[in-house]
Amino acid sequence: MAHFYLAVFIIGFALTVLTFVFGIAGHSFGHGGDLGGHGGDVGHGADAHGAISVPVLNFGTVTAFMTWFGGIGFLLSAYSQIVAVATVMASIVGGLVGGGLIFLFMAKVLAPDQIPMDPSDYYLPGTLGRITVTVPANGTGEMVYTQAGTRKTVAVRGAAGESIGKGTEVVVLRFERGIAYARPWEQVADGRGGESVSSR
């Protein structure tokens, strides 16, 4: 049994290390606005509200349970005269304590700092951007925009198949199959867009 406990401890500890190294247990969500320059946001931004709930059974608590269960079980079975049943029970209790401590840390320390993802933060129609790769007539270029606090790029086409020069500020009218369809901001502002922004 000592070898079993040792194997569980090694696996749990290794997964715990990987969790911290690669950030498996933590996710941060930000909220940002669109590119400015015209005194406002064309789209509909919304701040996220509410708290993120942490499930009791998650990667962090399971690996903590394995680590404590295996470690306590190995020590008791290898260096004490406690019977096997008592060793299993003590190991389970130790694992629950370890998992509980990790759960409390995640729920009380990590979760309050997180902002739940709001689909409106990733809604492209109405977003302002700037063309970084010229859009040829009936072709595809590239635009850069800021959303959810991050600078992003996306493939873009003219909403009516028109060409759009590099550096032109545009507004996304619709988003289909990974491609944004946009018009120059000036045309939309002057009412010459010929197409309204897609509604949700």
pLDDT in tens, 73-93: 888 888 887 878 888 898 899
Q: CA 145, 140, 186: angle at the middle one, nearest 5?
A: 55
Residue 145 and residue 32 in contact, taking contact as beta carbons nearer than 8 Å: no
At residue 25, does pLDDT exceed 50?
A: no
Please state the rounded mean pLDDT for residues 123-143.
Answer: 88
Domains annotated on the chain, with CATH: 2-113 (no CATH), 123-189 (2.40.50.140)
Average pLDDT, the chain: 76
pTM over 0.85: no
Strand, coil or helix: 146 = strand
Residue 98 and residue 67 in contact, taking contact as beta carbons nearer than 8 Å: yes
Nearest-angstrom CA–CA distance, 115 and 24? 17
Residue from 73, 69, 87 nearest 16 by CA: 69
- The mean-pLDDT minimum among 12-26, 42-56, 95-109, 125-139 falls in 42-56
- Residue at 83: amino acid letter: V
Maximum mean pLDDT: which of 14-28, 51-65, 127-141, 144-158: 127-141
133 bridge partner residues: 142
Neighbour-count burial for 177-187, b at 16+ CB within 10 Å, e otherwise: eeebbbbbbee
More confident residue, 102 or 48: 102
pLDDT band at 1 (very low <50, low <70, confident <90, very high): confident
- Residue at 12: amino acid letter: G
Nearest-angstrom CA–CA distance, 36 and 127? 10
